[in-house]
Structure 1
Amino acid sequence: MTTDTHIHNTIRDSTSAVILAGGQARRMGGVDKGLQLLAGRPLIAHTLARLAPQVGPIVISANRCLPEYMAYGHPVLPDALPGFIGPLAGLHAALCATGTPYLACLPCDSPYFPMDLIARLFSALTDQDAEVAVIRQGERVHPVFSLYRRSVLPQLTAYLERGERRFMTWLQEIDSVYVDLPVDTTEFANFNTLDELQRASSIST
């Protein structure tokens, strides 16, 4: 077994992932974003295809259209906390439901992320013995592209119980390390409107 294969297997054996699809998608008119089509396939399908080779178990954080998401063969986790309070609720539910030492977090609306994304995050997290590794492009931090140790769960629970909701503020409360990538890459571009999806679909067909 080569070193790269060993590392890949280690990451897959120790890392679960949550795809965040539980938002209200206000800028898309309130439709369920993860089920909207890009080049004839739902965004959640694109995300799963890129993510599945990189990790072990995958869960989907969703609060609507649960049967449609369940059809993809992965557990679907509604927020335990009411009121669509944001992505931290989905992260919290996934940390509670998964048992691996590490949990990767990704959004459902950015289907072009790198095929070695989790490996990059894992390397930074373990090399620097941090609690979370996060993607950063220049001054822009992408908190929903991140990898956590399960040990952050009590801290996140306490943070949410205080009524806090901001992802960036949460990252400042734990031991974070950043994976810096070029500003000009479009690998972390996301879709916020149906027009953006339609334009992208027309280019790729």
Structure 2
Amino acid sequence: MTQDDITLLVLAGGQGRRMGGVDKGWSLLLDKPLILHVLSRLEGQTRAVLINANRSLDAYEQLGYPVITDLEGDFKGPLMGILSGLSAASTPWVLVVPCDTPALPQDLVTRMIGGIGDHDIAVAHDGERAHPVIALMRCDLAADLREALAAGERKIDRWYARHHWCHVDFSDQPEAFINLNSPEERMNLGQRLERDGST
């Protein structure tokens, strides 16, 4: 597998309930929307980029990448966004990331490729916990995921467990996986990024 075999899928289709229902992709961090932080961390590292969104579609389309909505409505969670991306991608692999993790490792793509081995799914692990929505997976899992969703499955961990999957160790940079669910977290991360000069 090379970077040319991968489509980056940014999940921006959630309801943002823990942030008061806002569209998290357009929440500002250091005067820049979260979606732009994520895209800039991984820019040019995959053959293609897809953005999964269910609102603010015109704004997302202006970023210059294809925007795909969930195949089924009613905000059915990240698995539906993943299925929509797997179904739309033209590459054999998809790397899924959320739009609210603006400090992602800049070597995320190469390390996920290096860590997946012969598995069908690789999930980032920060040394303390896994991050299920940061995952590299085969696009041909779409049919099985469609069946799981039709049967009522909504738990991402349970769907992964149906397949040959592994963790990829990022314990050397756990702070890269902070996701923002409150104004306080946003302020703290903004201060850290400014201090580190990694904006």
* Corresponding residue number in structure 1 for 2:3: 12
Cα distance in 2 for partners of 1:111, 1:27 equals 17
Q: Which runs of 5+ in 1 are unaligned?
A: 1-9
- The farther-off stretch of 23-32 and 10-19 is 10-19
Helix, strand or coil for the counterpart of 1:118? helix
Q: Counterpart in 2 of 1:47?
A: 38
Provide, for residues 146-199 of structure 1, a one-character-per-residue CA deviation record: whole Å limited to 9, x for no partner: 001112111111111111111011111111011122177201011001332234
Contact kept, 8 Å, 2:127 with 2:174, in 1: the verdict is no
Partner amino acid, structure 1, of 2:119: A
Check the 8 A contact 2:3/2:109 in 1, yes or no.
Answer: no
TM-score normalised by structure 2 residue count? 0.91
TM-score calculated relative to the size of structure 1: 0.89
1:116 is aligned to 2:107: yes
- C-alpha separation in 2, matches of 1:184 and 1:119: 15
Gaps of 5+ in 2: none
* 84, 99, 108: which one aligns with 1:93: 84
- The 2-side partners of 1:139 and 1:175 are apart by 21
| CA RMSD in angstroms, aligned pairs only | 1.7
Aligned letter for 2:162?
Answer: E
1:59 aligns with 2:46: no
In 2: Cα distance, 1:55 partner to 1:19 partner: 12
- Secondary structure of the residue aligned to 1:83 is coil
User: Equivalences for 1:88-167 in 2 at 5 Å?
Assistant: 88-125=79-116, 127=117, 129-167=118-156
Does structure 2 conserve the Cα–Cα contact (< 8 Å) formed by 1:95 and 1:150? yes
CA distance in 2, matches of 1:94, 1:181: 24
CA contact (8 A) 1:54 1:115 kept: no
Query: 1:93 offset after TM fit, Å?
Result: 0.5
> Across the two proteins, how many residue pairs are aligned to each other?
194
Report how far residue 27 of structure 1 moved: 1.4
Residues 125 and 170 in structure 2, CA contact (< 8 A), matched pair in contact too: yes
Equivalence for 2:190: 201
The offset of 1:101, in angstroms, is: 1.0
Which one of the candidate residues 118, 142, 157 is aligned to 1:168? 157
Please name the residue that 1:177 is paired with: 166
> How far apart are the structure 2 equivalents of 1:19 and 1:181?
20
Asked if the contact 1:79–1:93 (Cα under 8 Å) also holds between the matched residues in 2, the reply is yes
Provide, for residues 114-137 of structure 1, a one-character-per-residue CA deviation record: whole Å limited to 9, x for no partner: 111111111222x2x111111113
SS at structure 2 position matched to 1:187: helix
Offset from partner CA, 1:41-66 (integer Å, 9 cap, x none) = 00000101111222111011111111
SS in 2 for 1:53: coil
Matched residue type, 2:135 = S
Distance 1:188 1:69 in 2: 23
Q: Which amino acid aligns with 1:123?
A: G
Percent pairwise identity: 39
